[in-house]
Amino acid sequence: MEIVETFDRQAAIEEFEPLVRHIVFQVAVHFPRHVDREELNRAGALGLVEAAQRYDLDRGVPFQRFAAQRIRGAILDAVRAADWAPRSLRTMARSFEQTSQRLANEIGRPPTLEEMAEAMETTTEQLTRLQGKISRSVVLALDHMSSEEDETMTLGETLMDSANLEPSEELERRELHAYLRDAIALLPERHRLVVIGYFLEGRTSHDLARFLGVTASRVSQMRSEALEMLRQGISAQYDEPASDDGGGVAADRRARFAGALGESSDWRDRISVQKAAVSA
């Protein structure tokens, strides 16, 4: 006789009630102090009840994962409804973003805090405080609607909880990080120094140019070349080789780099605990 599995909604609500407090604790650090935590708990509890009502056992999604998304969404909705971020902060956030993009286009790299402060005619201290306010207000944008299959969910509900990844997601993350680590190590020495200096050590193009004895434009060129090598090399580990590559020296170089990357470590090592970061 076939056994039909059922879902007890009331029992699920009672069992996962502590999950509400856990998620409130996680997200509350991103909100201003005056946001009432009890209000967040109430909103989260309503999200849990809604999750139990809408849960479909046949989809095969664990209830805890489904409920966590709904609870976060309910909390974000409650904060959004409170509308605690003033309009002036929204205006300053737009100005900050526009200035950052303009400077990045002009100088070919992300601007420093000092450059941003000068462009916005303020001090670095005031700009740091503004960045803190902006980062706390980001949550307000997470209530935009996002379509997922036949349901409508907020972006906040669809966010991945990086602290509680599914086993398959965790393995994929480890493998990708391992490929990136190995790919950086396989770059030509000067390209590797540029990538490590710029992205891991926070050095500017001018610093690297002086260190390598080249121009800043050459550093920018090497950075672009290195990123393209990394992108193509890692993509080749997941995709089928392109049939219309056309051959030639460049194609041979890409193939050798991808082949070396594929042989640089065993798959067991790639999905095991991460090795130490690449150093110059």
Quote the strand ranges of the chain, DSSP E: 145-148, 151-154
Band (198; pLDDT cuts 50, 70, 90) = confident
Mean pLDDT computed over 66-79: 86
Contact criterion met (CB below 8 Å) for 133 and 89: yes
Domain-by-domain residue ranges, the chain?
9-85+138-158, 88-124, 167-270
pLDDT at residue number 141: 45
How much is the pTM?
0.41
Residue among 82, 74, 62, 76 nearest 16 (CA): 62
At 224-264, the pLDDT tens digits run 888 888 888 888 887 665 554 555 777 778 888 888 888 88
Contact criterion met (CB below 8 Å) for 12 and 71: no
Q: 216-238 vs 205-212: helix axis angle to the nearest 10? A: 100
Band (4; pLDDT cuts 50, 70, 90) = very low
pLDDT at position 6 over 80? no
- Does domain 167-270 fall into CATH 3.90.650.10? no
At 116-171, the pLDDT tens digits run 888 888 888 888 888 777 665 554 444 444 444 444 555 444 445 555 555 666 67
CATH topology assigned to domain 9-85+138-158: Rna Polymerase Sigma Factor; Chain: A (1.10.1740)
